[in-house]
Amino acid sequence: DADVTQTPRNRITKTGKRIMLECSQTKGHDRMYWYRQDPGLGLRLIYYSFDVKDINKGEISDGYSVSRQAQAKFSLSLESAIPNQTALYFCATSDGDRESAFFGQGTRLTVV
Amino acid sequence: SQKIEQNSEALNIQEGKTATLTCNYTNYSPAYLQWYRQDPGRGPVFLLLIRENEKEKRKERLKVTFDTTLKQSLFHITASQPADSATYLCALYNFNKFYFGSGTKLNVKP
């Protein structure tokens, strides 16, 4: 089983719809992140959380919200999806200041 | 904000040769720098980490150098194999966040 699991893996949704992407981890890490990846732009940070009571905006948080339901669960919501939110979304975890990031398999989201 | 530059053009090399990928960064020097491998449609996978007080790090066929004066890291794969074909991402950790480059695609031809 994957250490960081994202659901769904693929999703097509219509403009204006609300959609939630979910992430769960079994690594026991406190820190969780949401990134989006677009061709040529690399991974850009949307939100991050260092524990259940800590939520922080990343560089591109507009149009997104998150919820940290438990240490192991971090969900990303698009309240009203728009076509330029079409991208590959990744959840990641890390443990402490000087450790690497562990990524999920990604969610490919298409907004039509 | 932190900016990371990797060559956006694909690197094509012959099997058995050494591949060298470059990562340049601006602004703040990180406490450490990392390299990841990403295969199509999959999440990045951590390969190596090098700290600011280390000049070089090796792991099997992989070698990373870190020059804080030049603000540059080089990533080498020796005796490259077709299975090494992937996109390689450079990442910095600063201010409690990971900053990623857009990656360089490596194609190793048999």
Residue B80, token pair as written in the block: 């490259």
Cβ neighbours for B9, distance < 8 A, ≥ 6 positions apart: B104
pLDDT of residue A97: 63
| Band of residue A102 on the pLDDT scale cut at 50, 70, 90 | very high
CB spacing of B44 vs A45 below 8 angstroms: no
Percent of chain A with pLDDT over 70: 96
Mean pLDDT by 10 residues, chain B (110 residues): 84 97 86 92 93 91 93 96 97 84 95
Site from A43, A61, A91, A95 to mutate, B interface, most B CB atoms within 10 angstroms:
A43
Taking the CA atoms of B24, B85, A101 and A108 in sequence, report the sign of the dihedral they define: positive
3-state DSSP assignment of residue B18:
coil
- Comparing alpha-carbon positions, the chain B residue that sits nearest to A41 is B102
Does B22 touch chain A if contact means CB atoms closer than 8 Å?
no
The H or E element that residue B3 is part of is strand B3-6
Q: How far apart (Å, rounded) are the C-alpha atoms in residues B98 and B110? A: 35
| Band of residue A41 on the pLDDT scale cut at 50, 70, 90 | confident
A40 neighbourhood in chain B, CB within 8 Å: 8, 102
Q: Has residue A95 got a pLDDT over 70?
A: yes
Percent of chain A with pLDDT over 90: 88
- Mind telling me how many Å the CA of A96 is from chain B's nearest CA? 9
Ordered alpha helix ranges (H), A46-100: none
